[in-house]
Amino acid sequence: MSETNPAAAEAAPHRYTAALAAEIEARWQDFWDAEGTYAAPNPKGDLAGDPEVVARPKKFIMDMFPYPSGAGLHVGHPLGYIATDVYARFQRMTGHNVLHTLGFDAFGLPAEQYAVQTGTHPRVSTEANIKNMQVQLRRLGLGHDKRRSFATIDPDYYKWTQWIFLQIFNSWYDQDAQKARPISELVAQFESGERPVPGGRSWSELSSVERADLLSEYRLAYASDAPVNWCPGLGTVLANEEVTADGRSERGNFPVFKAKLRQWNMRITAYADRLLDDLDALDWPEAIKLQQRNWIGRSEGARVDFPIDGEKITVFTTRPDTLFGATYMVLAPEHPLVEKFTPDAWPEGTHEVWTGGHATPAEAVAAYRAQAASKSDVERQAEAKDKTGVFTGAYATNPVNGQRVPVFIADYVLMGYGTGAIMAVPGHDTRDFAFARAFELPIVCVVEPTDGRGTDPATWDDAFVSHDAKIVNSSGEHVSLDGLNVTEAKARITEWLEREGHGEGTVNFRLRDWLFSRQRYWGEPFPIVYDEDGVAHALPESMLPLELPEVDDYSPRTFDPDDADTQPETPLSRNEDWVNVTLDLGDGPKKYRRETNTMPNWAGSCWYELRYLDPHNSEKLVDPEIERYWMGPREGMPHGGVDLYVGGAEHAVLHLLYARFWSKVLYDLGHISSAEPFHKLFNQGMIQAYVYRDSRGIAVPAAEVEERDGGYWYQGERVTRLLGKMGKSLKNAVTPDEICAEYGADTLRLYEMAMGPLDVSRPWDTRAVVGQFRLLQRLWRNIVDEATGEVTVVDTDDVDEDTLRALHKAIDGVRGDLESMRFNTAIAKVTELNNHLTKRGGPLPRSVAEPLVLLVAPLAPHIAEELWRKLGHTDSVVHQDFPVADPAYVVDETVTCVVQIKGKVKARLEVSPGISEDELEKTALADERVVAALDGAGIRKVIVRAPKLVNIVPA
RNA sequence: GCCGGGUUGGUGGAAUGGCAUACACGGAUGUCUCAAACACAUCUGCCCGAGAGGGCUUGCGGGUUCGAGUCCCGCACCCGGCACCA
């Protein structure tokens, strides 16, 4: 609590109060800014500095940068920033050149929506939010190199985002070399004939449109028609989670249609294998690696062609070994071949449940498609248990045994995965089994069950799914798999399929290309123009940055909510002067139309680590020497990258995968030396907060809830307590500003670090913050006289053993804890030492006070800086060496040895740490409590772990 | 459903297979004070017992081990993520 009693303030005018903390903190924050205390020198360029510091080992310590929201920060936001700051400070004190800074991820939807509502330009509101956040963050004493900060909306920054887009646009993936290469090298291959042009003509015979279309097949950034959730009523495309279960928009409740839209894509799938393989060398949490592996979703299998009417349907299967058990096929409802094979009438004897009650196949297919299209993806998935579908009237042929198999459409098959078609093996696939039962389709057993259920599928309740069993009933004229195990059968059948031209072994990925355009205003404009033939051209580097133009209205044009045949009209497209331009792209002035989509929010965060290194470089994205210095490969980090990247686990796949992808392209093209952006990743937990709800379930202001009689009360009414997220809507937000005002930033920092291990979520408890405040007060009082403000430390060599041991044990423990980011236990060890010193009383020897202050410095930098100055030093505590423990004092003079009998503690002995096992055993067996407890019983065995433990096992 | 993580006092949490409950919050008592606050000191897992002391205890049930919060198997519950992935 802040000091309010005048009498007490008079008695202790120099007590460490909130007011004094505020004064100290403001003073040192000003000092650090003025001195450039946290400036990290580059080896060259405008940020070059002290060669001695540059020569040290480097540490690049980074946070996931924030989006500057209008709501400002609550105490949950800075958790990671404080952690990286403590770690960075520790690294500075252990001889490293530390790069630590923070920028802003400032393009995004909230600012645009605010602009639509208020007419305020997104730049205006965003920059105001950034300013506000900078004030809040500065108050925490974060040691950022502010020269390196930027926002992704700065034209100097997004110039390079656009430049990278052009690098990607102007590249293709060479499958032989397994790397990206400039598109000009592909053109040269086509020109020389080294690579044949599809269709048999020569490159010079192709029109410009044909050339552009061909290159588009190769470019790493390409435009294509992609299915999207189009909402005419809002005039925008929606993400899946913005669409309700019944296919309407969450906002406004308008209908949403699946529409094809010309969109930019990034060919991230070309990198699937490398993104997967390179994970192995990264120091990331296994859980996150696993999520990325699952997201990429590599599966080995085979493509199999099923002949139909002289053509074929190609399926992907991971179980080609079960081909003899394929009794029907299913296509995704959107599959383009469906119309082609749908006959005019139902074949003779078509089963009634197959037709869905429709008179013709065309009618049935149309009805099912309409029904599927009206449902959202979420709903299609929600109804997964009840298998729906309809017969197309067509039959294909199973290549392995020549059997006719009916072709269905069903929405459990997805157009976006594999080939959009499956062979159904109901005997050995759970979903196929359910579908077959619903539609009375034949089920065949081709994998011998190992669970005793027998080989008659009619008696089964579910499919038999196993990868470790014998193949049966799989013998045909041409090939037999009987008796082989699953793995052998896969190899045998794949070989057969390839030999006979019915298919091939293949690898399929779940990963899809990255949809890269948005119909928004507040994003990076594409540096792309279209000529009169509609061919896309890259702007030359000299025309970058392509700045966002002013527009009258930020809202997209809306349409009749029910009119599916509309197209989005982007805000940028309305600025005709900007859109229609005459440019000279090297072949004289010509008319062009600009691309009017903008890049997604991810773009700016895909490469920002690189710009921190060399933020003002106007010639290059980053100077190669500087990049190699901070991020190049090193011992233990073969792909290079940031030394530590801290952020929330919610970015496990998208952001981290996209950033890895961009790194690899830039690496392939020779722009950077690091093939991975983030060598070590750490996911901090969430700070949760209690949510109090009244009897109607409405959240009540958490700050006004009282606890008494074992319950929680708000305005006399009993309320219930649950753990939830912190935020405005749940009325439980606590801001760093209020904690700083009541206790100071050092207390807030300590509390956030002391709450628990950094990687787990834990609830905020404002009442408990005072504990860390008391720690700082006691620390202060151990060094400063509260009445006079004078330092009480004495210069003496005469320090008691207990204190030396307490000090060096603390140094040893805190060092290890900070290195491995166990900040909570580091603080506990500092507390223990400080409590020892409080209890000890008397003036502190300088040789104890100084290391104590240095131990605290990474955690509570302001008070440490103040005490360091009071102790007579004129240089900043930030660049002092972290104390090193004297091993002689880390071990105790005597240790407590526990004597157990059958694992139960029966006696404790004080012994020397160096005691031998024999002597310890003798001492233990001679102890009277042990003798009494053994009560004459013989001894079977004695386990001795000197000097801590003896365990006696009686006969 | 699948994948990942978790479950330790009134609360947040600590514990290389070796004294379970460090450190902090909260609580109790005392010293100081006219009184209170602050500070300092002592106590504070649960049960039995006046006490000495004894028994029990890391979600539940098994197992491995001289010894398990920690390793293995099964179950329950909680939190994330993914989801008809062929």
Distance between alpha carbon A752 and the CA centroid of its chain, in Å?
22
CA distances A513 to A75, A221, A266, A636, A856, Å, are 37, 10, 6, 31, 49
User: pLDDT at residue A866 above 70?
Assistant: yes
Which strands sit side by side in the sheet containing A404-409, from one edge to the other?
Answer: A390-397, A404-409, A328-331, A421-424
Neighbours of A417 (CB within 10 A): 15
Pick from A363-377, A598-612, A703-717, A929-943: least confident: A703-717
- Write down the pLDDT at residue A877: 97
Upstream peptide bond of A155 is cis (omega within 30 degrees of 0):
no
- Write down the pLDDT at residue A543: 95
Pick from A384-393, A564-573, A853-862, A870-879: least confident: A384-393
- Write down the pLDDT at residue A103: 96
- Write down the pLDDT at residue A376: 62
| Number of residues in chain A | 955
Give chain A residues 378-437 with Cβ within 7 A of strand B. Answer: 380-381, 383-384, 387-388, 411-414, 416-420, 422-423, 429-431
- Give the closest nucleotide to A834 (alpha carbon vs C1'): B23
Residue A5 tokens read as 């009693």
Find out whether A180 and A561 touch, Cβ atoms under 8 Å: no
pLDDT category, A384, cuts 50, 70, 90? low
- Write down the pLDDT at residue A720: 76
Query: pLDDT over 90 for what percent of chain A?
Result: 59
Judge whether residue A900 contacts strand B, using its CB and a 7 Å cut-off. Answer: yes
- Write down the pLDDT at residue A779: 96
- Give the closest nucleotide to A952 (alpha carbon vs C1'): B66
pLDDT category, A8, cuts 50, 70, 90? low
- Give the closest nucleotide to A423 (alpha carbon vs C1'): B86
Judge whether residue A757 contacts strand B, using its CB and a 7 Å cut-off. Answer: yes
Query: Could you report the per-residue pLDDT of A314-371, keeping only the tens digit for each?
Result: 999 999 999 999 999 999 988 989 988 999 999 998 988 999 899 999 999 999 988 8
Judge whether residue A950 contacts strand B, using its CB and a 7 Å cut-off. Answer: no
Give chain A residues 917-946 with Cβ within 7 A of strand B. Answer: 941, 943, 945
Question: What's the average model confidence in pLDDT over A837-841?
Answer: 91
Judge whether residue A851 contacts strand B, using its CB and a 7 Å cut-off. Answer: no
- Write down the pLDDT at residue A61: 96
- Write down the pLDDT at residue A380: 62
Taking all residues of chain A, what is their mean pLDDT, rounded to a whole number?
90
User: CA A628 – C1' B36 distance (Å)?
Assistant: 64
Residue A499 tokens read as 């030999």
- Give the closest nucleotide to A380 (alpha carbon vs C1'): B84
Find out whether A699 and A658 touch, Cβ atoms under 8 Å: no
Judge whether residue A246 contacts strand B, using its CB and a 7 Å cut-off. Answer: no
Q: Which residue lies nearest B25, CA-to-C1' measured?
A: A768
Distance separating alpha carbons of residues A829 and A806, to the nearest angstrom: 9
User: CA A934 – C1' B54 distance (Å)?
Assistant: 18
Q: Which residue lies nearest B78, CA-to-C1' measured?
A: A723
Residue A846 tokens read as 């300088």
Judge whether residue A771 contacts strand B, using its CB and a 7 Å cut-off. Answer: yes
User: pLDDT at residue A382 above 60?
Assistant: no
Label residue A670 left, alpha or beta by phi (over 0 means left) and psi (-120 to 50 means alpha): left
User: pLDDT at residue A629 above 60?
Assistant: yes
- Write down the pLDDT at residue A539: 96
Question: What's the average model confidence in pLDDT over A520-525?
Answer: 93
Judge whether residue A7 contacts strand B, using its CB and a 7 Å cut-off. Answer: yes
Question: Who has greater pLDDT, A718 or A418?
Answer: A418
User: pLDDT at residue A581 above 50?
Assistant: yes
Judge whether residue A782 contacts strand B, using its CB and a 7 Å cut-off. Answer: no
- Give the closest nucleotide to A764 (alpha carbon vs C1'): B12
Query: Could you report the per-residue pLDDT of A33-77, keeping only the tens digit for each?
Result: 999 999 999 999 999 999 999 999 999 999 999 999 888 888 988
Protein-proximal nucleotides of chain B (any atom < 7 Å from a CB): 3-5, 11-15, 18-20, 22-26, 35-42, 66-68, 79-86
- Write down the pLDDT at residue A214: 96
Give chain A residues 60-89 with Cβ within 7 A of strand B. Answer: none
Question: Who has greater pLDDT, A385 or A720?
Answer: A720
Judge whether residue A290 contacts strand B, using its CB and a 7 Å cut-off. Answer: yes
Give chain A residues 639-678 with Cβ within 7 A of strand B. Answer: 649-650, 652-653
Distance separating alpha carbons of residues A829 and A888, to the nearest angstrom: 19
SS3 content of chain A, % helix, strand, coil (to 5): 40, 20, 40
pLDDT category, A2, cuts 50, 70, 90? very low
- Give the closest nucleotide to A372 (alpha carbon vs C1'): B84
Question: Who has greater pLDDT, A163 or A687?
Answer: A163
Give chain A residues 796-825 with Cβ within 7 A of strand B. Answer: 822, 824-825
| Residue A112 host element (H or E) | helix A109-118
Question: What's the average model confidence in pLDDT over A448-468?
Answer: 83
- Write down the pLDDT at residue A361: 94
- Write down the pLDDT at residue A928: 80
Here the ipTM equals 0.94
- Give the closest nucleotide to A903 (alpha carbon vs C1'): B67
Please report the DSSP string for A128-175 in residue order.
HHHHHHHHHHHTTT----GGG--BTTSHHHHHHHHHHHHHHHTEEEET
Pairing mode, if any, of strands A699-700 and A687-693? antiparallel
Distance separating alpha carbons of residues A619 and A553, to the nearest angstrom: 35
Judge whether residue A320 contacts strand B, using its CB and a 7 Å cut-off. Answer: no
- Give the closest nucleotide to A835 (alpha carbon vs C1'): B23
Question: What's the average model confidence in pLDDT over A532-558?
Answer: 91
Please report the DSSP string for A667-699 in residue order.
HHTTS-S-S-SBSBEEE--PEEEEEEE-TTS-E
- Write down the pLDDT at residue A388: 86
Question: What's the average model confidence in pLDDT over A579-595?
Answer: 94
Question: Who has greater pLDDT, A239 or A475?
Answer: A475
- Give the closest nucleotide to A384 (alpha carbon vs C1'): B84
Q: Which residue lies nearest B68, CA-to-C1' measured?
A: A903
Judge whether residue A451 contacts strand B, using its CB and a 7 Å cut-off. Answer: no
Distance separating alpha carbons of residues A124 and A112, to the nearest angstrom: 11
Residue type, A337: L
Neighbours of A192 (CB within 10 A): 9
Pick from A43-47, A240-244, A448-452, A830-834: least confident: A240-244
Query: Could you report the per-residue pLDDT of A162-209, keeping only the tens digit for each?
Result: 999 999 999 999 999 999 999 999 999 999 999 999 988 999 999 999
Pick from A578-592, A733-747, A900-914: least confident: A900-914
Question: What's the average model confidence in pLDDT over A621-632?
Answer: 97
- Write down the pLDDT at residue A704: 78
